[in-house]
Amino acid sequence: MFNIFIGDLDNGKDCTLGKFADDTNQGGVVDTPETYAAIQRDHDRLVKWADRNLMKFNKGKCKVLHLCRNNLKHQYTLGN
């Protein structure tokens, strides 16, 4: 039943999305402003999905992991 419920979670996503029992991980390589925008768009799509399905993300558990020495460390938002 759970797989049916979250089956459309990754529809239309540009980035890699990992789905687990009670976690979702999103990842991607950010090397241009366009790829940064793609990740932010995917965040926005996830929020819309959660709203449609009457769910909420636990923003306290949300973390951004920046890897690389020259990373620009973009700031992402998840909803408001």
Which pLDDT tens digit goes with each residue over 54-80? 888 888 888 887 777 776 677 888 877
Could you give the percent of the chain with pLDDT greater than 90?
Answer: 0
pLDDT at position 2 over 70 = no
**Positive/negative CA dihedral, 16, 34, 72, 76:** negative
**Can you tell me the distance from the alpha carbon of 27 to that of 31, in angstroms, rounded to the nearest whole number?**
13
Collapsed DSSP state (helix, strand, coil) of residue 27? strand
Which pLDDT tens digit goes with each residue over 10-36? 777 777 777 777 777 788 888 888 888
Single pTM value for the model: 0.74
Task: Retrieve residue 3's tokens.
Answer: 């797989």
- Which pLDDT score, from 0 to 100, does residue 26 have? 81
Collapsed DSSP state (helix, strand, coil) of residue 19? strand
Contacts of 68 (CB under 8 A, 6+ apart): none
Task: Retrieve residue 38's tokens.
Answer: 């793609």
